[in-house]
Chains A and B, each alone.
Chain A
Amino acid sequence: MGGGPNKPELVINGKRTDGRDFNELRPIKIIASPLANANGSAYLEWGNNKVMCGVYGPKEANPRHLADATQAVIKCRYMMAPFSSLSEHGRTGPNRRATEISKVVKEVFENVVMTKEYPGSQIEVYIEILQGDGGTRVAGVAAAAIALATSGIPMKDLPYAVSVGRIGEHLAVDFNMIEDNYSDSDMPMAIAPRNNEILLLQMDGDMTKQQILEAVQMGIDAGPQIVEIQRKALKAAYEASTTK
């Protein structure tokens, strides 16, 4: 995590760089099923993050030798657009970071999607980061959950995701780009709100055991706000079409 002589001041007068409290989220806006040609889709703005997500399937597994006769295979592609962020992230094509995030996001949805209902098929999740400002993988998971729900694929739960971390002695939720780069530790996590099951937990930097437990609790406490926005977005997509 960040250090060096150019490290900016991350806590000013007890507030963070963008004026937020330590347990305050950035504003979130979600539009459910904006795309006509995908089976399910979602557009999400989380602070300055802009994410588009599309879901296809269930369809025939390709290549065929990857098909599983007992359950559906989930494929996930996380990709940052060339104009999304710093040039090193925007290189076209998969890189080490995109491959890793695709894998962890895939594992999130393997635990919630009822894959046993579609044996021999494949479900594709595409997450495109149009603009990145810290915490894109959690924004991606939150968007992909909405996209999967709008595609009608049976799921156990509607997961949400949030990043937590440590700035000096303070613990905080929802890091932006500067905090992501220069804080002491950051920990993205995805949670199933039904039973607070943790589906994704990664960590950069260092925290003590006590701090990790507290940080996880902060993420769970922030959950209801995100879930509320996700649910409202899904319902709004159908209520809007009634009034037309």
Chain B
Amino acid sequence: MRNIVLPGEIIAQVPQRIENSYIENGKTYSKIMGMYEPNTRGVIPLEGSWSPNNEDTVVGVITEQRNKVFIVDLMFFGRCLLIPGKFDEYVFTPGEIVEARIKEVENRKTIVLGDGKLLEGGRIIKVKPKKVLRVIGKKNTMIDQIKALTKTDIVVGLNGLIWLRGGDIDLAEEAIFKVEREAHTSGLTEIIKQYLENKTKRE
């Protein structure tokens, strides 16, 4: 049974290496609000900001160009730069949406991006960064299912921005927000499948 734990709550009476926890006086305490099941690897956060890692796929908006370097807004507090490689030639204008991969994170503050790709048209929505993994699902099950049933092109950025285009775009958006709201419940892929099938049938 998964339980909601709160900051400062004892999760183990012995010192144990658990994600999102700290050890004091030989006991393990949770340091965030999250879901925890005894004898698992970590406390799964319910809320929180995004911490960038190498190779993360992100979605952002170009805000500025300086020489060949583009500054991208990823809804992150640090600086995000899209720097072209030796053989790349990027032609972006401010306001355009791009998909990119993180090459390097400096000091947890400056993000260097590469592999920039233009996303034409469509729209961007924002979900809580800690719910993005649930939107993607185990082995992409959730996002593949939404793509297939709504026929929408979707690119999910781990920073919390999601780009959508074509198909039943409103339904896809609704489904993603439903996943975000109910991220902490189990058996969600099946619920979303039924929800989408009911909606598409009615129309």
**A→B interface (CB under 8 Å):** 33, 39-40, 57-60, 112, 114, 118-121, 149-158, 192-194, 231, 234-235, 238, 241-242, 244
Given A40-B47, A120-B107: A154 and B78 within 8 A (CB)? Answer: no
Residues on the A chain within 8 Å of B92, using CB: none
| CB-defined A-B contacts under 8 Å, sample of 9 | A120-B108, A150-B33, A152-B33, A152-B45, A152-B47, A156-B7, A156-B8, A234-B6, A242-B184
Task: From A154, A192, A238, A244, give the contact of B20 (CB < 8 A).
Answer: A154
Count how many chain B residues have C-beta atoms less than 8 Å from C-beta atoms of the other chain.
Answer: 26
4 shortest A-B CB distances, which residue pairs? A152-B48, A157-B8, A152-B47, A59-B77
Contact B185 A242, beta carbon cutoff 8 Å: yes
**B→A interface (CB under 8 Å):** 4, 6-8, 20, 22, 24, 29, 31-33, 45-49, 77-78, 107-109, 130, 181-182, 184-185
Q: How far is A235 from B2 in the complex, measured between Cα atoms in Å?
A: 13
Main secondary structure of the interface of B (DSSP, over half): loop
Contact B8 A192, beta carbon cutoff 8 Å: yes
Q: How far is A181 from B181 in the complex, measured between Cα atoms in Å?
A: 45
Q: How far is the CB of A46 from chain B (nearest CB, A)?
A: 20
Contact A231 B32, beta carbon cutoff 8 Å: no
Contact A194 B8, beta carbon cutoff 8 Å: yes
Q: How far is the CB of A235 from chain B (nearest CB, A)?
A: 5
Q: Nearest CB to that of A114 among chain B residues? A: B31
Given A60-B78, A114-B31, A156-B8: A242 and B48 within 8 A (CB)? Answer: no
Q: Nearest CB to that of B25 among chain A residues? A: A195
Contact A151 B48, beta carbon cutoff 8 Å: yes
Task: From B4, B77, B108, B130, give the contact of A238 (CB < 8 A).
Answer: B4
Contact B6 A149, beta carbon cutoff 8 Å: yes
Residues on the B chain within 8 Å of A157, using CB: 7-8, 29
Q: How far is A157 from B45 in the complex, measured between Cα atoms in Å?
A: 16
Q: How far is A121 from B78 in the complex, measured between Cα atoms in Å?
A: 9
Task: From B32, B77, B108, give the contact of A154 (CB < 8 A).
Answer: B32
Task: From B20, B29, B48, B109, give the contact of A156 (CB < 8 A).
Answer: B29
Contact B47 A150, beta carbon cutoff 8 Å: yes
Q: How far is A192 from B22 in the complex, measured between Cα atoms in Å?
A: 16
Q: How far is A154 from B181 in the complex, measured between Cα atoms in Å?
A: 22
Q: How far is the CB of B189 from chain A (nearest CB, A)?
A: 16
Q: Nearest CB to that of A62 among chain B residues? A: B77
Residues on the A chain within 8 Å of B20, using CB: 154
Q: How far is A114 from B86 in the complex, measured between Cα atoms in Å?
A: 41
Q: How far is A150 from B130 in the complex, measured between Cα atoms in Å?
A: 12
